[in-house]
Amino acid sequence: MDSLRRVILITGTRKGIGRYLAEHFLNLGDVVIGCSRSETDLESDSYTHFCLDVSDEKAVKKMISSVRKSIGYVDILINNAGVASMNHYLLTPKSTVEKLFNTNVIGTFLFSRELAKLMSKKRYGRIINFSTVAVPLNLEGEAVYAASKSAVVSLTKILSKEVGSLGITVNAVGPTPVLTDLIKTVPKNKIQELLDQQAIERLGTFEDVLNVVEFFIKPESSFITGQVVYLGGVS
Amino acid sequence: MNKSVKNIINQTLTNFIEEENIDNSIDVNESTRLFGSDALFSSIQLVSFITELEENLEDELDIEITLADEKAMSMRTSPFSSVKYLISYVEEKLKENG
């Protein structure tokens, strides 16, 4: 990486962890590019926002093409955009499966593919994906969500092998529940049951997630790839 | 249009060979094999070359194009196997896209 300002692309920056990460990196002086389905009130000279559906291939390609032409490179991709759903398997509509896989898997796939192409030109890049502790915990009621995030884990591990020689690392963070809109409809007792399975029984915080992201993107982590770090002592 | 596509592919190829320090004693012409045995590129170089070509086509022709689509992957003769096949594949794809 050269001495130019870092360019960080984060998906799902309108609210929650994505918004927090965007503001954090802007405060550090980085250039941040974000996206979400709708407009944002995040304003900064160093921030550019795109409105799109992360599973829309044409829109994603158009966005990355625009970034390539205006900035020329991206150092770090954080595939944060995600949707969750909790429901009994037998009562889960197909539309929920499609919605979760579109955002969580196809969105991660498309952004990783397009950004890895751009990163490969500079022979440098960091891709951070989002999994969840629901994967190793095999949580009841979260079959579809966990399946989609399991797919993200596989994408992370295999992509890391395919782009390792291009100077790109690919890792994932697996948060515990964090108080965001993602879990607002999940009953409190279900959250408690989940926390009871963690080594450290508390909700995660934005800072916990940031800490892992910062580890993955630091220059000294160039030999760390294909890894998934779960929070809360879950493995 | 034909000449333009051919020129873009040839220019991309020339630049890429230089950037990647690929043996410049190899005679590069339309029958040059891009991948496979006795080919110009390693598999990872082929991926990088296709990526660079997509970008150059987009920039030069002001279009959006994905070269490695399902059709390309299922063709009996891969469009990426030689320069000649690549030129005709890209020309055909641009016609399809209007």
CB contacts < 8 Å between A and B, how many? 18
Please name which of A196, A203, A217 lies closest in space to residue A175, comparing C-alpha atoms: A203
Chain B partners of A61 at a C-beta cutoff of 8 Å?
Answer: 64, 66
Helices (H), A123-227: 134-137, 143-163, 188-195, 206-217
pLDDT, tens digit, for every residue of A17-31?
A: 999 999 999 999 999
pLDDT, tens digit, for every residue of A201-223?
A: 999 999 999 999 999 999 999 99
Please name which of B75, B12, B87 lies closest in space to residue B49, comparing C-alpha atoms: B12
How far apart CA A38 and CA A44 sit, in angstroms, is 17
The residue of chain B nearest to residue A121, with distances taken between CA atoms, is: B48
Rounded to the nearest angstrom, the minimum Cα separation between B51 and chain A is: 6
ipTM above 0.85, yes or no: no
Which of B51, B52, B57 should be substituted to probe chain A, the one whose Cβ sees the most A Cβ atoms within 10 Å? B51
Chain B partners of A62 at a C-beta cutoff of 8 Å?
Answer: 64
Q: Show the CA angle centred on residue A162, arms to residues A159 and A165, nearest 5°.
A: 125
CA distances to A51, A80, B19, B57 from B82, rounded to whole Å, are 39, 39, 20, 18
Contacts of A48 (CB under 8 A, 6+ apart): A32, A33, A34, A67, A70
Please name which of B10, B85, B4 lies closest in space to residue B49, comparing C-alpha atoms: B10
Phi, psi of B48 (to 5 degrees): -65, -40
Do the Cβ atoms of A65 and B64 come within 8 Å? Answer: yes
Q: Tell whether B66 lies on the interface with A, counting CB pairs under 8 A.
A: yes
Do the Cβ atoms of B55 and A58 come within 8 Å? Answer: no
Chain B partners of A165 at a C-beta cutoff of 8 Å?
Answer: 44
| Residue located via tokens 């405060």 | A27
Q: What is the edge-to-edge ordering of all strands in the sheet holding A76-79?
A: A47-51, A31-36, A7-11, A76-79, A125-130, A168-174, A228-230
Residues 151-180, chain A: which have Cβ within 8 Å of B? Answer: 165-166
Token representation of residue A158: 């295999």
What is the pLDDT at residue B96?
A: 85
pLDDT, tens digit, for every residue of B2-56?
A: 458 999 999 999 999 998 888 767 778 888 889 887 788 988 999 999 999 999 9
The residue of chain B nearest to residue A165, with distances taken between CA atoms, is: B44
Which of A66, A67, A114, A121 should be substituted to probe chain B, the one whose Cβ sees the most B Cβ atoms within 10 Å? A121
What is the pLDDT at residue A18?
A: 98
Q: Tell whether B92 lies on the interface with A, counting CB pairs under 8 A.
A: no
Output the tens digit of pLDDT for each of chain A's 235 residues: 445 799 999 999 999 999 999 999 999 999 999 999 999 999 999 999 999 999 999 999 999 999 999 999 999 999 999 999 889 999 999 999 999 999 999 999 999 999 999 999 999 999 999 999 999 999 999 999 999 999 999 999 999 999 999 999 999 999 999 988 777 777 888 888 889 999 999 999 999 999 999 999 999 999 999 999 999 999 8
Strands A76-79 and A47-51: unpaired
B48 vs A68, A69, A120: nearest CB: A120
The residue of chain B nearest to residue A63, with distances taken between CA atoms, is: B64
What is the pLDDT at residue B2?
A: 46
